[in-house]
Amino acid sequence: MSSHDHDPLLSVREVTLQYRTDDHRVTATYRVSFDVHRSDRYVILGPSGCGKSTLLKAVGGFLRPTEGSIHLNGQAISRPGPDRVMVFQEFDQ
């Protein structure tokens, strides 16, 4: 086994995601960190409005973190790419 076999496929480090509304700034996630290794399966579970979809949009490259970093195969995610597919809840996204 090479050392790369132990490296995470997806690494989310201290990710804070914020966006603005007409009235104020919303913090969707605050300093979220986790790794996903090859063959792992994860579930992101939480109540409506807790930042699950916002976090997945950042993993997909559709949003940039306000703070922190997201890496896929050791490469920083900065935009959508052909190596990721997203199916959104809302049709118009």
pLDDT tens digits for range 10-50: 999 999 999 999 999 999 999 999 999 999 998 999 999 99
pLDDT tens digits for range 45-67: 999 999 999 999 999 999 999 99
Q: pTM for this structure?
A: 0.84
Strand, coil or helix: 87: coil
> Per-residue DSSP letters for 31-70?
EEEEEE-TT--------TTSSHHHHHHHHTTSS--SEEEE
Domain ranges for the chain? 3-76
- The CATH topology of domain 3-76 is Rossmann fold (3.40.50)
- Residue 76 has a CB neighbour count (10 Å cut-off) of 10
